[in-house]
Amino acid sequence: MPFHQAGAAEILRSVQKDESFLSHLKSSIAKIVQRSSGTRTWLNIHQYSDVICELAYYSLTTLCLRQTLGEEYTGIIQVDHNRRRLPTQFERTVMVILQCFGPKVLQIGLKKFENSVRVGCFSTYLRPELKTFILQQIPTLQYSLTLVHRIHLAIFYFSSGFYHISKRMTGIKYVLIREWLGDNAASQSFRMLGIVLFLHIMLTLSYAAYTNFFVKPKSDDKKTVSSCYVDSRKQCPLCLEERCHSSVTPCGHLFCWQCIHESLQTLQQCPLCRHHVLPSQVVPLLNYD
């Protein structure tokens, strides 16, 4: 008798449980490194801590053909796209590599490309007009990656298939091994959430198209002209504008003072690396360019 496909509720609970364990693992490693080697050492390696923790966690679970703690908690198990067998070792390895390294590789690749266009090898071969045009399109490319993730999430809410893009690319699905743990009543609510997210994406794209093609910036409005491109080194990851009153978190990430404090009112974690952060730990940087 075939198992039933896991719903969005079970998959989300599993992901949240895994993220709570990973967050605890990362915070424990941060405390060990800071107490043994100092905060400076931790700031030098903290950008790689997420990848290291995730790779260790999934290597001891998924790659060993075991359930993660979240999957065991919700009673779901990974299967292939036909739901007839367990994923092969190759499929699981590719999925873990994409999930652990994919976002970081894209982020580093875009940053290296931007630096190459600005001051690197490409800058000497590009005309100034073309160089400016490419630099202006980089924020759009970065936002396009965010948009792809939102569309993927909306599809998940609507069809309850793949929560992670890495699982969609490798065709790894989830089935319930204890059907009595399934929450069928929540499927309709998740479909409504998917529809709302799709509408939000369409409205965002429509507004962006309207402002780009129909609203012409005034020639004397320097702020509007300069806002077409923001140097990524001066950009706030939350508002995507040039940082105002730059502030640093204990994990070393820079934000606008107002943006990071508004974010910490909802969740006391760094929006980039999920390191535990209290509002009192955010330090404003004076005379910082």
Give the pLDDT mean for 193-220: 78
Structure tokens at 172: 């790894």
Give the pLDDT mean for 171-199: 81
Residue given tokens 């424990």 in the structure block: 28
Least Cα distance to 50 among 283, 285, 271 occurs for 271
- The predicted pLDDT at position 222 comes to 43
- What CA dihedral angle connects 18, 24, 26 and 27, to 10 degrees? 160
Q: Please give the single-letter amino acid code of residue 232.
A: S
Structure tokens at 163: 């929560």
Residue given tokens 């909802």 in the structure block: 266
Q: Are strands 254-256 and 173-176 parallel, antiparallel or unpaired?
A: unpaired
180 Cβ contact list (under 8 Å, min separation 6)? none
Q: Are strands 76-79 and 246-248 parallel, antiparallel or unpaired?
A: unpaired
The neighbouring-strand residues paired with 77 are 175
Q: What tens digit of pLDDT does each residue of 47-75 get?
A: 788 888 999 999 999 999 899 999 998 88
- CATH number, domain 231-284: 3.30.40.10
- The predicted pLDDT at position 289 comes to 59
Give the pLDDT mean for 119-123: 69
The domain spans of the chain are 8-213, 231-284
The neighbouring-strand residues paired with 283 are 248
Whole-model pTM?
0.69
- The predicted pLDDT at position 58 comes to 94
Least Cα distance to 107 among 18, 237, 243, 221 occurs for 237
Across the beta sheet with 254-256, the strand order is: 254-256, 246-248, 283-284
Residue 145 is given by DSSP the state: H
Confidence of residue 97 (pLDDT cuts 50, 70, 90): very high
Determine contact, residues 128/135, Cβ cutoff 8 Å.
no
Least Cα distance to 152 among 137, 166, 141 occurs for 166
Q: Alpha-carbon distance 198 to 154, whole Å?
A: 6
Structure tokens at 70: 């979240």
Least Cα distance to 142 among 61, 55, 236 occurs for 236
Q: Please give the single-letter amino acid code of residue 172.
A: I
Q: Could you write out the DSSP letters of every residue in 87-123?
A: PPHHHHHHHHHHHHHHHHHHHHHHHHHHHHHHTSTTT
Q: What tens digit of pLDDT does each residue of 24-35 get?
A: 888 888 888 888
Confidence of residue 230 (pLDDT cuts 50, 70, 90): low
Give the pLDDT mean for 128-156: 84
Confidence of residue 226 (pLDDT cuts 50, 70, 90): very low
- The predicted pLDDT at position 216 comes to 59
Q: Alpha-carbon distance 242 to 234, whole Å?
A: 5
